[in-house]
Amino acid sequence: MPHIHATALVEDGVDLADDVSVGPNSVLSGKITIGAGSRIIGSAYLQGPLEIGEGCLIYPFSSIGFAPQSVDFDPRQEGRGVVVGDRVTVRESVSIHRAMTDAGPTIIGDECYLMANAHVGHDTKLGYRCILANGALLGGHVILGNRAFVGGNAAIHQFCRIGRLTMLSGGMAISRDLPPFFTLTGMNVAGSINEVGMRRAGISREDIEDVRWVYKVLYRRKLGVAAAMRAIEERKTRPIVREFIEFMNESKRGLCPAKPDVRRVVEEVEEQADKRIAT
């Protein structure tokens, strides 16, 4: 039988595997299923609809499955809920909100590691083995590719798509799409490729060279977007290049540039100065 601490509250409708452990002061309500070998250390709040896989570890003060942070959303609406994969670690004070659309549920892929105070917004989808460092913030409808790493206190705008094996440096923010294998080094700046991460993941030398070539075509040859895409299409038979093409074709928010948009920043500064002078 599951081990449920005397101070835990587990409502009807919760289905626990035989070896699940629910620690003190935890609250589980609604339709919830938790797989074998999973453990809730204590003082966690879980709200269904919620599915948690096998071998997961949930630390104190985390909350999973509560309503999206939207003033227009009725918190009584269950929606599609949250699905957490196998061997996921959810550290202290992490929040994961349930989906608010039929396109849900919010998904946390297998072997993800969410560090303390990270937030996953509604309808977001994390792939396999993603890592969110302390304080990472993901807005609603974000898509995070397999083995992506989001640095501490980094923020991802809603509806952004982040490719696999990407890396977002700590303290950065992004409101555009970041292609696979690239590294975010500034606000919306794809300053380099994640070569170390690719090597650790066992990506071949030939594929790494293809990633390096795509980066040069996009950001170093001073081509327009259309011309760069035509050049990249010439190598579409190569799997890694084809992955880039598919990602770029599906982009709705536009890709991160390789350097800050200085002209836009200058225009905004000048506009603010004009307003101050006018007043």
Assess whether 74 carries a catalytic annotation.
Answer: no
Q: Which of 122, 127, 139, 151 is catalytic?
A: 122
Please count the other Cβ atoms lying within 10 Å of the Cβ belonging to residue 270: 10
The DSSP secondary structure of 76-106, one letter per residue, reads: T--TTBEEE-SS-EE-TT-EEEPBSSTT--E
103 vs 98: CA distance, rounded Å: 11
Q: Which of 123, 135, 139, 151 is catalytic?
A: 123
**Nearest alpha-carbon partner for 190 in 201, 179, 175, 204:** 179
| Displacement of CA 129 from its chain's centroid (Å) | 11
Assess whether 140 carries a catalytic annotation.
Answer: yes
**Torsions phi, psi for 240 (to 5 deg):** -65, -40
Assess whether 122 carries a catalytic annotation.
Answer: yes
Chain length of the chain: 279
Q: Which of 81, 140, 151, 163 is catalytic?
A: 140
Beta carbons within 8 Å of 55's beta carbon, 6+ residues apart: 35, 36, 37, 38, 86, 87
Q: Looking at the annotation, which residues are catalytic?
A: 122-123, 140
